[in-house]
């Protein structure tokens, strides 16, 4: 080997993630993101933000945006995020995100962004009518992460490619500006129960806020009756439940409902099957509905209580923003020096 091995990052581990304030949160967000954040805050220094800069890459009604930010914050708090432990803040309240994103726009290559599959999906047939922000969205995401030198990023599978891009940007920045080991190469945390929650209407599609059918998802703000009704209507097949996971293959709707039960109950899918093997969905669905109401009902209630007092939420966000600005300042100051800006 003639190349020198890159100097590894040696700073502390830090968790960072964010959710966009665009549309209602559902069971997939809850299990795949919020519950994970809540666990991680006990293990590591944790930064969780509301990605309003990302949200405006597609049109957001200005009169509603701040309330959407408060709603996501209420969901964070209702899921158990503790503002004393985790730093919770609105992305737009920390201008350093946008500043670092600009510098990273000059580090990332067009070819890298051209490969991003999420842009292709979101822009659809009308690429030329998409915002430039939507195209450079993953560069802003890299800035979100690297501004705090986060090493672990809990996200859905669909974000893996954005994390690869983040590592590419970190490595190129470190290389180009003679700062080997300066930025960490952060890792996506995509595993865990609840990381594959599918639509209640189609077991092969992810549960999504953009699905036109509201019956496809359980929203955190759905009332208990509606939760039970959506589970009653959930697509299934006529077979009884089998004894093993293997036998669920090829039955995506059945697999999904078992997975949801397991994630909500903190058990493995195998354990859930052991309990329900041989029973049909007529017996299983009411049990699942009871469990979903028992787990999600209190989260929705707590969100409604919190949202009734926006000033309290705003206090949490203002304090978090201050802490985030303090944590971000040294990175941005150093990057400005490394790039060679006047006065840095």
Site string for ligand TRP, 130-149 (x = CB under 6 A): -----------x--xx----
H or E element: which one contains 343? none
Query: Coil, strand, or helix at residue 261?
Result: helix
Distance separating alpha carbons of residues 277 and 291, to the nearest angstrom: 18
Query: Does the protein bind ligand TRP through residue 51 (CB under 6 A)?
Result: yes
Query: Does the protein bind ligand TRP through residue 18 (CB under 6 A)?
Result: yes
Residue 203, CA distances (Å) to 171, 173, 268, 277, 340 in order: 38, 41, 19, 20, 52
Is-catalytic flag, 85? no
Of 20, 46, 136, 236, the one binding ligand TRP by CB under 6 A: 20
Query: Does the protein bind ligand TRP through residue 236 (CB under 6 A)?
Result: no
Taking the complex as a whole, the smallest distance from the CB of residue 343 to ligand TRP amounts, in Å, to: 29
Query: Does the protein bind ligand TRP through residue 74 (CB under 6 A)?
Result: no
Of 27, 86, 108, 153, the one binding ligand TRP by CB under 6 A: 153
Q: For the residues of 262-287, what is the DSSP string, one character each?
A: HHHHT--HHHHHHHHTT--HHHHHHH
Is-catalytic flag, 149? no
Taking the complex as a whole, the smallest distance from the CB of residue 85 to ligand TRP amounts, in Å, to: 18
Taking the complex as a whole, the smallest distance from the CB of residue 245 to ligand TRP amounts, in Å, to: 28
Taking the complex as a whole, the smallest distance from the CB of residue 162 to ligand TRP amounts, in Å, to: 6
Distance separating alpha carbons of residues 316 and 70, to the nearest angstrom: 10
Distance separating alpha carbons of residues 124 and 47, to the nearest angstrom: 32
Taking the complex as a whole, the smallest distance from the CB of residue 136 to ligand TRP amounts, in Å, to: 13
Contact by Cβ (8 Å): 46, 37: yes
209, 235, 285, 287: the active-site residue = 209
Query: Does the protein bind ligand TRP through residue 159 (CB under 6 A)?
Result: yes
- Count other Cβ atoms within 10 Å, centred on residue 330: 10
Distance separating alpha carbons of residues 344 and 109, to the nearest angstrom: 25
Tokens representing residue 271 in the block: 């354990």
Is-catalytic flag, 235? no
Query: Does the protein bind ligand TRP through residue 184 (CB under 6 A)?
Result: no
Query: Does the protein bind ligand TRP through residue 289 (CB under 6 A)?
Result: no
Query: Does the protein bind ligand TRP through residue 101 (CB under 6 A)?
Result: no
- By C-beta, is 152 or 230 nearer to ligand TRP? 152
85, 122, 285, 287: the active-site residue = 122
Go through 287-314 and write b for each residue having 16 or more CB atoms within 10 A of its CB, e for each that does not: bbbeebbebbeebbebbeebbeeeebbe
Chain residues binding ligand TRP by CB under 6 A are 16-18, 20, 51, 54, 141, 144-145, 153, 155, 159
Residues recognised as catalytic: 122, 206, 209
């Amino acid at each position: 080997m003639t190349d020198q091995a890159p100097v590894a990052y040696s700073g502390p581990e830090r968790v960072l993630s964010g959710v966009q304030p665009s549309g209602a949160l559902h069971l997939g967000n809850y299990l795949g993101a919020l519950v994970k954040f809540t666990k991680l805050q006990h293990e590591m220094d944790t930064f969780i933000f509301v990605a309003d800069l990302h949200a405006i890459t597609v049109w957001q009604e200005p009169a509603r945006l701040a309330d959407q930010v408060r709603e996501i914050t209420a969901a964070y708090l209702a899921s158990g995020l503790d503002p004393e432990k985790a730093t919770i803040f609105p992305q737009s309240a920390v201008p350093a995100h946008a500043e670092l994103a600009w510098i990273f726009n000059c580090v990332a290559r067009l070819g890298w962004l051209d490969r991003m599959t999420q842009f292709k999906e979101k822009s659809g047939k009308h690429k030329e009518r998409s915002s430039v922000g939507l195209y450079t969205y993953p560069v802003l995401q890299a800035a979100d992460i690297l501004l705090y030198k986060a090493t672990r990023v809990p996200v859905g599978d669909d974000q893996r490619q954005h994390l690869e891009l983040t590592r590419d940007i970190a490595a190129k920045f470190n290389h180009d500006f003679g700062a080997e080991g300066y930025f960490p190469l952060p890792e996506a945390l995509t595993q865990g129960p609840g990381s594959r929650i599918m639509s209640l209407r189609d077991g092969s599609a992810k549960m999504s806020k953009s699905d036109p059918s509201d019956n496809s998802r359980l929203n955190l703000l759905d009332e208990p009756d509606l939760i039970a009704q959506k589970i009653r209507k959930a697509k299934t097949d006529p077979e009884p439940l089998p004894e093993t996971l293997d036998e669920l293959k090829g039955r995506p709707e059945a697999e999904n409902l078992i997975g949801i039960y397991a994630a909500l109950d903190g058990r493995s899918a195998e354990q859930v099957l052991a309990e329900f093997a041989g029973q049909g969905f007529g017996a299983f669905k009411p049990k699942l509905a009871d469990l979903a109401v028992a787990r999600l009902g209190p989260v929705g209630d707590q969100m409604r209580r919190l949202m009734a007092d926006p000033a309290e939420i705003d206090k949490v966000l203002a304090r978090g923003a201050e802490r985030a600005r303090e944590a971000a300042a040294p990175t941005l100051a150093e990057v400005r020096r490394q790039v060679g800006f006047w006065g840095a």
